[in-house]
Structure 1
Amino acid sequence: MAVFTNEVVEKLVNLWEEEESLWNVSSEAYHKKESRNISLSRIKENLKKDMEMDFTVTQINCKLQSLRCYYAKELKKMRSSKKSGSGISDIYTSKWPFFATLDSFLREQITPRQSMSTLDISNTSQNNDEDDEKKRNLPEEVMERAVSALSSIQERKTDVEDEDSVFAKLIANELRKIKDLRKKSLLKIKIQQLIFDTQFSNRGDIEMVSNKNIIFKPNDSTVNQLLSITSDFYKAVDEGKEVRVL
């Protein structure tokens, strides 16, 4: 199993330095994926030959990125400790074994953020205080708008809750109390049939139905068909007859 020991990492760093396409941002090859892949493959073969470690190209690339990130953190600590007013003893010195080698070719590739003077820091602090004050006042305004918006939504929602909606909820609650699934299914179908018949009561060929007068006729409504099939099914079950679904 290939493992990145300190010895292997040291070899990896030396090979990395030789491949500018993997670290020199000013190099034309750095901006070409094909060139970077060739360099990674070359490092892979050298590690396999010299260290007898068979890493994948992906593993090598991830390790290089990890080394670069850690180096950048160490470099940032060093630069931060060199601010004006700091004594020599306060300057940070990295004890990471690979820092010196990486520093020899990566330092110019790591661009530090623009430093701020004491005056800049003071002004920034003052501006931040002003921003914080604005943020403290902002929630009250936002809350008022939110309450207003929710009230408006609630009013619109109340308008939708008309008499029919309330009655529908009442029916739903009553249906939930019925534990017998067979009876509940029949009742639902009857309710749907009653609604259908009422909606089309001006048609003389449709009559209010019951368990005794459900008759399935060709070209009949879907509701009537369901009523007829369901009624026949439960009737057969109640009479102990054998029911088969084909």
Structure 2
Amino acid sequence: MSAPQSDCVETSDVLQSFISMYEELPVLWNPSDSNYKNKNKRNAALVKLLSVYEKCKPGTTISDVRRKINTIRCNYRKELKKIEDSKKSGAGTDDVYSPSSWVFHALQFINNFEQPVDLGNSQAQLDEEKEDVENENPSQIQATTSRSSIVPPLEPMPKKARSIGPIARQNELLQKACAYLDFSSKNNETEIPTIAKAWGEKLLQLHPLQRALAERAINDVLFEASQGTLHRHSVKINEGFSYESSTVASPVDSVPQIPSPQQQGFRSTQNDRLVNFFSGYE
């Protein structure tokens, strides 16, 4: 009985093929690439790397490929840091640290995105890749052994709802209410007929008594109309009315008039009779 076959150990040839394929997929390392933020494009690129990496590690997954990328990039940054520290120490040109690993030189295409003096961007990029690993759904990405593997599209991650305090929530509701009232008032103004505004201006110019009578007549007409009882002969203005016998005082009638001499004599006689009448009871 033969001994079980052991897993193939990662060789320099496999790693070199892995890095070469990685260089051909800028969607995974170049932030200026148009598809850098496209999860589907990135996963399709990872599947291509998977087909290379699983040659030495059968059964490997997309998560393993991501971790491998993070490992080689982390080592690359460490080498950059050593070079930078060597230059800052005042070492001469011949004494500046020079990496001996061929992997460092093979990764020169990511040099512009891995500057040690700006580690914040690199760290942010690694954090994003780490987040992709944590959010990865195994049921959505199935590892295959061929380059023609199809990666199911990932569902977009829902954005975390912004939490707001009770005061901010109240302010937001008040703003919405004010906006609604302002919108409603503007709509109501546009719905009022222009002729109604003209009527209102005319009413303001009338004598108070005449305005009251006019408003009463208008209200009566509107009431009958709202009840559906208004007809062509409903409105009758001053029908059978005589201005000479009218008891309604007009603005002119309200001015006191000086009695004539005959009226003054009649009133004097009446007053004398009343005085004589009441004097008999004293």
Higher helix share: 1
* Bigger Cα Rg: 2
Instruction: Name the TM-score class by shorter chain.
Output: 0.3 to 0.5
Return the TM-score normalized by structure 1: 0.41
Return the TM-score normalized by structure 2: 0.36
- State the structure with bigger RCO (CA 8 A, min sep 6), 1 or 2: 2
